Every structure is written in structure tokens, then in C-alpha cells.
Chains A and B, each alone.
Chain A
């Protein structure tokens, strides 16, 4: 299979994407499941290990979602029930106002803050382990979606506010499926940007993207709106090597690099707090701070865990700038994206434990929700050694991918100055990835607690 082959040349694929049922039929399915999940979370069993909503959300969906991002980019966002809700609200009561300038300018920072806040809330209030906590989170997000859809155009929530959208945007950059426009055809386009503005065949891009100039997967949800509206068949869909987009980011943004570093910190936190070693750490913090308030001590841990990857990336950027004479912020922004493959690997590896060690919980809780009696049994799908082996493999793969991305970024930006400059610039970041990789491996060596 050629990497650049346009999948839309396949009549079945094209017909599917052009169908008026795509992605609507999938949206209906996910929305129906979402209703069941929210009902279960809010009105179902109060115990997490009996709650179907908890199992479907945190044991099945959350571990699988980063894998979907890697393979299909932000496809999930096209069928996300929140997006569907936003569309419905917009259709019936939407005021279709332009997205405020501050949101367009600082949206990614808001996403960063929301992501950190939700992670913090999870640990302090036990959102994941408490079905009702998860339900309240879902309802709060629903409220945000309703507000956004009621007042602003298109999918303002998905692009500028959704914390998962920020995460998926970053991960999708490493994705393997890309939608682009054939710029040669676009150069002769007389449809007045139908892909952006919409026409009788459908609405314009819900994510405010202009396919002709789109060079990233970060905001494309593969909703195929542009496939439907383009009268010239200029849209292409093709496979590409994973992480390829990270090699050639033309306009690197500090806030996106920052998010990549934050995600690494969150992976650290998620792992550390599920380890047995967490108790001694907590005890040490208690004696240090003089308080046994969990919120206070966890917040300190959380801030340190966030600061480690950010600080180390800044350190690497500081070293590299002495060599390549570029600014520190520029270095940070350019090479921060290189952490993304390791982020994804750490995220999947962490959740692989929950998926494989607790996977049967989905079946058990579903049976119980259906009124059947369930015999107690193991929830694991495979043995712990197998899971750990997979985790080590994933971390190694992620680290290698990150190292290669570093090399390509260095070559892309500083290659003209010679190979020595490329390698010298890449060296501090390579050391950074090595440290992150080792920390992750150490964390996965230690036994972990379960979610359910």
C-alpha cells in the first residue's frame, strides 16, 4: 500500500464519506451510549466496580482513545457525543456569533488549564473512582458544550475549549491518517471556498479550517464535510508514517509544546499516585509541610510533577540555544513537539494496565446492568507480566519515535549549518527523552493499583 495513495479514489470510501449518514449514524450510536453512561454514572450503582458507566468510560474508552488518535487522528471528535450535542444546540437555538477573539488567542491555554484542573480534581475528589464524580464531570462538560453551542459558531467548544480536543490535537499530529487538499486543484477553485463556507451539499468546516492551507491533523476531525462540499474533488485522504507531521511543523507554538510537556507530567502523576511507593512519598510530604491535608500534599506533588518535564525541557532548550543561537522560547516550541510520541506511549502504557487488567469489568458490569447475576472472577484479560512487557515495549517504541523526531526537527531547522549543528542541537533533547523514558520504565516496573 502506497503511503501517499488517495483513499478517496476508492469508490466505497468516497461514497461512505460523501454519504449523508456519515458521520451522523456514528454520532447517533455514540450519543446513545453516552446517555447510558451518564445515566449509569449518575443514577447507577454507587460503587465503581459495579458501575457500567465507570467501566465503559475509564476502563474501555479512555485507554482506547489514544490508540484511535494515533491511527485515525481526531476521528473521535467527529463522532463525539459532545460535538453532536453542540450541533443540535446550534441548530435549534444557536446564535451563531463569532468566536471571541480572546478565545481564539488563548484557547489552547484554556485547554491546558482545563486539562490540569481536571486531572487535579480527579485526584483530590476522586472523579474516576467515584461514578458520581465522573457523572458530575460529564454534566459539567455538557453544560460547557451547551453554552458554547448556544452562542458561538460551529464547533467552538471542540476547537478552543475541549480539554480532550487539545489532547487529541497534539496526539493527532502523530496520527497515521491525514486529510489534505490538492493545492493544484484548489488554485483553480471557483467555488468561493465552499469547503470553508459550505454550500448546498453541506456546511463548511466545523473546525474553522481551510483545507487548502491545512498542514496539520491537529484540528481535522475527518468529518468529511469538505469532501461533501468540494465540487472539484480536491480533498485527499491518505496514510502516512506515524509522527511524520512532527518533523515539519512550520509554525511551532509555545503553548502546544507546553501542553506536550504537561501531558508527560500528568502521566508521571497518574503513575506515581497509583503506586505503592506513593504512601511513603505522601508521608514524607506530610512531615515536610506539617499538614496531613491530602489536597495540599497532592497539589505540591502535582506541581512538582508538572514542573519536572517543563523545567527539563527548558533546561534542554537553554543548553541547545547556546549551540544553535536560537532563542530559548523558539527551542522550547520547536522541540516540545518531540515529546508527543513518548506522551502517547506513556499514556497508552498506563491505560493498557487498566484495559487489560480490568477489561472484563466491562462485561461484568454490563451483565449486571442488564439484570443478570454475575459470578465473581478475575477482571484481567492477560497476565501481569504480559502487560508489563507490553508497557516496556511501548515506552521503548515511544522513546525511539521521540528521538527520531528530535533528529528530524534538528535537521529541518539547523541542517543547513551542517551535520555537527544538527547533532549538537539534538543532543540535549535526546538526553531529555532518555531521562523521561527511564522514569517511565521505572514507574511501570512498580506494581500499580486498579481503577475498578
Chain B
């Protein structure tokens, strides 16, 4: 009965759009976190046994029957707690410095490669302005029932401070909403390349192979995590954070504001076309997963990249060398 008075097609179209957009956003978010978790699981699972969480492993091992070794201090390997005795504090707590390893090799390529935004950088054009900040603030003021409640509780009758708090935001909101949309605020359709960061497979970190093959000069300590595992850890977290940042950048570019986004999509004219053009442009973000991949790939490649030792070869292959 009432529907005939409504612009049915536009109404249903708008609702459909909202549903599909929110669903798509959720899917993107979910996919991003799944990728991140997968990378984390990969990086943890691929680390060698003597490396990561060696303290945990040693504890488990001892817990399985090794308690005769002497209890908690031993449990806390690889950095055993020095069983404390009162006189030990003042005197000879062994810092273990006598064996300084001048050439302790920390030159591992362990720094996570930060993702680089090139070309149509999703987050480059976003300039935060006081207006935006103010708008966000009032949005919080409008939505933050917690603060508002607190404010009401604490209002001392001097004019309704809580209401001041909220209405101030409302004023700002009205002022802000009059500002024109800018291109990077919108663009819910035609976005591509959101998974660019996952495809940068070429791994040119062959140099890391030397670490994989055991050139770590402090390997003699054999009590801590290996560089490989460290690389994997760093790489895992870099990948997660990179993934989150990319997701955030995409979301920010696509739909920083629900209201604005809808308005832009249903708009017409040159501004709308400009928005569509900007939105359709692919996002070219490249994230190098080298710290994760290189240590795994490098040991495989090492036999093919290292120079052949004639003496060894002769020992194993005999007459061929001769």
C-alpha cells in the first residue's frame, strides 16, 4: 500500500547496495585476517626445532621427565636464572662477558621489508585535517554512550555539561558535512588489486642463503633462536602488520564514510565521474615477503649457488674430477 508512494527501485537499489557493500567489506576484512593468520602460522611452523621457543620446548622436555636435572633454574633455559644466593648479589654474578664474541654476526637480513606504496598509493592522498579530526571527535561524542553516560552522571547542574559535550560535536558535524567530497573518500566500485601484496613472489634475497647455510658466527652458543627463526618471526609480524595496513588503506580509500560513499555513488555530473575514475584506478601496493620466504628458499638454493669445492668433490665423486 505504502510502497507505491516510494521510489521503489531507488530504495531497493540503495538497500541492496548497502548490503552488498557491507558484505564485501566484511569479506575483505576476513580474508585479510585469514591471510595474516596463515602467514603467522607458516612462519611459526617453519622455524627449526632448536630455535624459537626453545625455552618453552626445554620446559616441556623437562616436564616430561627431566626434573632430576635440578628444577626451575634449569627449566629456564636458554637463560638460566642464576640460583640466587645473598652473597652472590654483591660479588660475582657472572655476566658471561668473558667470552665476548667480537664477531657476533647479527648481519642477518632480518629487517622486515616495509610495504611500499607506489603509484596510486591508497593512503598517500589522505590528509588529515582539523576538520576531519573534529568530525571524528563529534562522531565519537554522538556515538559514545559510555562517555555521555559518565558525563551525565557527573553533570553538576551547571548547565548540562553532557549535553554541551554532545551538541558541540553536532555543530561540528553539520559544518563538516557541507564540505564537498573529495575523490579519495569514495569509490566503492571497480576497485582492484586489493591482494597485490600477496602476489609479490619474486624473491631476490638470495644473499640470505648464506645465513641459511649456517654462517651464523654465534651458532656455537646453540642456546637461542636461530637467525632463520628470527627472520621468520620478523617476517610473520611484518606480513601481518603489512596486511592490516593494506586492508586499512583499502577500506579508507573505499569507504571512509558510509554516508559520503552512498552520496557519491548516487551522484551525477563531472564530480561523480571523477570519483568513479579515481575509484576504478588500481591500487598498486607492493609488499615484499622476503623475510618470510627467503630463509626457507635460501637453503634449497644454496647448493646451486655456492662455488664447488674441488677437494670435496673429488672425495665424493672420485674419478670424475681427476
Binds B, one of A13-21, A122-130, A161-169, A341-349: A122-130
Q: Give 8 closest A-B pairs by Cβ, nearest first.
A: A46-B224, A150-B248, A48-B79, A126-B55, A192-B168, A197-B137, A193-B168, A93-B248
Residues 317-350 of A, flagged 1 when their CB comes within 8 A of B and 0 if not, give 0000000000000000000000000000000000
Given contacts A99-B144, A131-B79, 12 further A-B contacts (CB under 8 A): A42-B110, A43-B230, A46-B221, A146-B244, A186-B161, A198-B133, A208-B147, A210-B147, A213-B150, A294-B63, A295-B59, A358-B93
Would A208 and B140 count as touching, CB distance under 8 A?
yes
- Whole-angstrom distance between the Cβ of B160 and the nearest chain A Cβ: 11
- Whole-angstrom distance between the Cβ of A354 and the nearest chain B Cβ: 11
Q: Which residues of A contact B (CB under 8 A)?
A: 42-50, 89, 91-96, 98-99, 101, 104-105, 124-126, 129-133, 135-136, 139-140, 142-143, 146-147, 150-151, 153-154, 183, 186-187, 189, 192-193, 196-200, 203-204, 208, 210, 212-213, 215, 250-251, 273-274, 276, 278-279, 282, 286, 291-295, 357-358, 361, 364, 368, 371, 373-380, 383-384, 387, 447-452
Binds A, one of B6-14, B98-106, B310-318: B98-106
Residue from the list A105, A154, A376 in contact with B94, Cβ < 8 A:
A376
Would A132 and B123 count as touching, CB distance under 8 A?
no
Residues 104-128 of B, flagged 1 when their CB comes within 8 A of A and 0 if not, give 1010101000000000001100101
Residues of B within 8 A of A139 (CB): 233-234, 237
Separation of A183 and B154 alpha carbons in the complex (Å): 12
A-B contact pairs, 20 of them (CB 8 A): A93-B126, A96-B132, A98-B144, A125-B53, A125-B56, A126-B56, A129-B55, A130-B78, A132-B224, A193-B169, A196-B168, A197-B172, A198-B130, A203-B133, A279-B71, A374-B100, A379-B93, A380-B93, A384-B90, A452-B93
Residues 154-185 of B, flagged 1 when their CB comes within 8 A of A and 0 if not, give 11101101101100110110000000000000
- Whole-angstrom distance between the Cβ of A370 and the nearest chain B Cβ: 12
User: Interface residue tally of chain B, by bracket?
Assistant: 35 or more
Binds A, one of B80-88, B190-198, B263-271, B272-280: B80-88
Separation of A152 and B62 alpha carbons in the complex (Å): 44
Separation of A447 and B213 alpha carbons in the complex (Å): 45
Separation of A380 and B82 alpha carbons in the complex (Å): 14
Separation of A451 and B80 alpha carbons in the complex (Å): 9
- Whole-angstrom distance between the Cβ of A76 and the nearest chain B Cβ: 23
Which of A146, A291, A451 has the largest count of B CB atoms less than 10 A from its CB? Answer: A146
Residues 62-75 of B, flagged 1 when their CB comes within 8 A of A and 0 if not, give 11110100011101
Answer whether A215 and B90 are a contact pair too, CB < 8 Å, given A196-B137, A448-B84. Answer: no
Would A150 and B233 count as touching, CB distance under 8 A?
no
Binds A, one of B16-24, B202-210, B249-257, B300-308: B249-257
Would B237 and A47 count as touching, CB distance under 8 A?
no
Residue from the list B55, B93, B248 in contact with A130, Cβ < 8 A:
B55
Would B67 and A98 count as touching, CB distance under 8 A?
no
Separation of A126 and B81 alpha carbons in the complex (Å): 11
Residue from the list A96, A147, A358 in contact with B256, Cβ < 8 A:
A96
Residues 208-232 of B, flagged 1 when their CB comes within 8 A of A and 0 if not, give 0000000000100101110101100
Separation of A411 and B58 alpha carbons in the complex (Å): 54
Question: Which residue in chain B gives the minimum CB-CB distance to A375?
Answer: B97
Question: Which residue in chain A gives the minimum CB-CB distance to B257?
Answer: A96
Separation of A444 and B301 alpha carbons in the complex (Å): 56
Question: Which residue in chain A gives the minimum CB-CB distance to B55?
Answer: A126
Residue from the list A42, A43, A98, A274 in contact with B140, Cβ < 8 A:
A98
B138 at interface, CB cutoff 8 A: yes
Residues of A within 8 A of B85 (CB): 447
Would A150 and B244 count as touching, CB distance under 8 A?
yes
Residue from the list A93, A129, A135, A183 in contact with B245, Cβ < 8 A:
A93
Answer whether A376 and B96 are a contact pair too, CB < 8 Å, given A46-B78, A208-B140. Answer: yes
Residue from the list B90, B137, B227 in contact with A204, Cβ < 8 A:
B137
Would B233 and A126 count as touching, CB distance under 8 A?
no
Residues of A within 8 A of B227 (CB): 43
Separation of A132 and B79 alpha carbons in the complex (Å): 11
Residue from the list A94, A124, A449 in contact with B82, Cβ < 8 A:
A449
Would A376 and B97 count as touching, CB distance under 8 A?
yes
B45 at interface, CB cutoff 8 A: no
Would B158 and A187 count as touching, CB distance under 8 A?
yes
- Whole-angstrom distance between the Cβ of A298 and the nearest chain B Cβ: 9
B186 at interface, CB cutoff 8 A: no
- Whole-angstrom distance between the Cβ of A399 and the nearest chain B Cβ: 25
- Whole-angstrom distance between the Cβ of A307 and the nearest chain B Cβ: 22
Residues of A within 8 A of B161 (CB): 186, 210, 212-213
B200 at interface, CB cutoff 8 A: no
Residue from the list A49, A124, A213, A448 in contact with B95, Cβ < 8 A:
A49
Would B108 and A450 count as touching, CB distance under 8 A?
no
Answer whether A93 and B223 are a contact pair too, CB < 8 Å, given A45-B218, A129-B81, A376-B98. Answer: no
